[in-house]
Amino acid sequence: MRPSPPTLVLYHHLSTTNAYSWTLYNGIFQRLAGGFSKLVCPVSAQWRLQSMPAGMFNPQSSATEHPLTPAQQSRPLQSRSMATEAAPITRSTSDFDMHPALPLPLVPSHIAPQTVITTLHSFPALEPVKFIHYPTTHLFLPLRKDILHRAIVYEGDATRSGTASTKWRDEVRGSGRKIRPQKGSGKARLGDKKSPMLKGGGRAFGPKPRDFSTGLQKKVYDLAWRTALSYRWRRGELLVVEDADIEQPDENMAREIFTRHGWGKQHRRSLLITKAPRTNIFKALEAVGKEGKALEVDDVDVKDLLSLGRLVIERGALDRMFIEHQSDLVPQHGLQRGFAGAMRGSNVADTAVHEEI
């Protein structure tokens, strides 16, 4: 009697649940019934090909109950020599539009989505151009009020000038002669005229120039940036546009754009963030500052991301924010050249990312 071909199934190498829950690919079973013993595994996750005891599963019944569609029948199958050779988990961004310097989260694709999708709009018409992808570690973070508070306090302390200065009694110009005798006048004791108790004298315990800045770990500060952007994205208050500029610095045009799109004063104003200086739109918004304001990406901090009603940000500016504030996700030596370039030590990736930024 001719022996029947071995019955093979696919299941995930990280699964802690029932292994047979991964045997729902009906088309594979029908091909097994036809004698195929070598299959190709999906590239999006690491799979392992293993054998099952005879009689545990009947491929003939599966082929009868779940026939293949014409598209499945025309799909080619490839083979590999060893069943224990597993395809590695890939992190390529060639399948969708995403900046190459933004690392994907290191989790299997079946556990959670690795990217979130947002729409790129034209400016000022706001017509949809295409979908763009961002890692969930950049634009899908949970709200952390404690981290946002620490970042805002850190920025506020850094902006304090600390230049207040007063003179103590030894810094005031004047004689050191005693004003009146210690006893016999019936009045209070006094020294020289520079005493803090007298008009024109020094000030006791007055302020002196000091540094009010406080410290905050860079990884915490970078996490606050991405948390603020994720909070805006979840609430639908983050709009990604192409180059945000107008033909001429017309304040009426700028007011019309902000009013028609619901970005103006009646909707808590809006912040326009650009990658590079946009002279026309900047001048126009200076004249109609009550509708909103525009900042270059270098002048933005975490407080600016949370203060106004919404964010209208250029894609290049958003990519730059993510690249500069991901120190908790990539090694320190690879911040400016991306995750892949840092892992390979590639100077080519470094140059490409710098040129794009």
Give the residue with greater pLDDT, 330 vs 199: 199
105 pLDDT band (50/70/90 cuts)? confident
Residue 329 predicted with pLDDT over 70: yes
More reliable by pLDDT, 229 or 333: 229
> What DSSP string runs through 14-81?
T--S-GGGG---HHHHHHHHTT-------SSS-EEEEE--TTSS-HHHHHHHSPPPHHHHTS-----S
Residues 318 and 194 in one domain: no
In a domain, 91, yes or no: no
Torsion sign over Cα 262, 293, 221, 163? negative
pLDDT at 198: 93
Residue 53 has pLDDT above 50, yes or no: no
Tell which wins on pLDDT, 201 or 3. 201
238 shares its domain with 330: yes
- Is 131 in the same domain as 239? yes
Q: Which of 51, 73, 95 is the last residue of a domain?
A: 73
Q: Looking at residues 149-171, what average pLDDT do you find?
A: 96
For 26-35, 111-120, 325-334, which range has the lowest pLDDT when averaged over its residues? 26-35
Number of domains in the chain: 3
Residue 333 lies in a domain: yes
Is residue 45 in some structural domain? yes
Q: Domain containing 177: what range? A: 166-206
Does 131 share its domain with 263? yes
Co-location of 350 and 296 in the same domain: yes
What mean pLDDT do residues 135-140 have? 93
Residues 180 and 253 in one domain: no
pLDDT tens digit sequence for 235-272: 999 999 999 999 999 999 999 999 999 999 999 999 99
The mean pLDDT value of the chain amounts to: 75
What does the pLDDT average to over 32-44? Answer: 41
Count the neighbouring beta carbons within 10 Å of the beta carbon of residue 32. 21
Say what the pTM is.
0.65
- 80 in a domain, yes or no? no
- 88 assigned to some structural domain: no
In a domain, 79, yes or no: no
- List, for residues 260-316, the tens digit of each pLDDT value: 999 999 999 999 999 999 999 999 999 998 999 999 999 999 999 999 999 999 999
Q: Are residues 138 and 171 in the same domain?
A: no
- Do 127 and 233 have their domain in common? yes
With b meaning 16 or more CB within 10 Å and e meaning fewer, what string describes 309-346? bbbbbbbbbbbbbbbebbbebbeeebbbbbbbbbeeee
CATH for 294: 3.40.1370.10
The pLDDT tens digits for 257-267 are 999 999 999 99
One domain, residues 276 and 174: no
Q: Give me the percent of the chain exceeding a pLDDT of 70.
A: 64
Instruction: Place 156 in a pLDDT band, splitting at 50, 70 and 90.
Output: very high
Among the candidates 148, 175, 206, a domain finishes at 206
In a domain, 249, yes or no: yes
Q: For a pLDDT cut of 90, what percent of the chain falls above it?
A: 59
Q: H/E element holding 222?
A: helix 218-234
Higher-confidence residue: 189 or 331? Answer: 189
Residues 248 and 351 in one domain: yes
Please check whether residue 101 lies inside any domain of the structure.
Answer: no
Quick: pLDDT tens for 58-70.
444 444 444 555 5
- Indicate the Cα dihedral angle 279, 282, 287, 291, nearest 10°: 150
Residue 45 banded pLDDT, cuts 50, 70, 90: very low
Q: What is the pLDDT of residue 336?
A: 46
Q: Return the closest-CA partner of residue 86 out of 44, 136, 48.
A: 48
Last residue of a domain, one of 73, 99, 125: 73
Looking at the structure, do residues 126 and 174 belong to the same domain, yes or no? Answer: no
Confidence band (pLDDT; 50, 70, 90) for 80?
very low
Do 266 and 328 share a domain, yes or no? yes
Amino acid 81 reads S
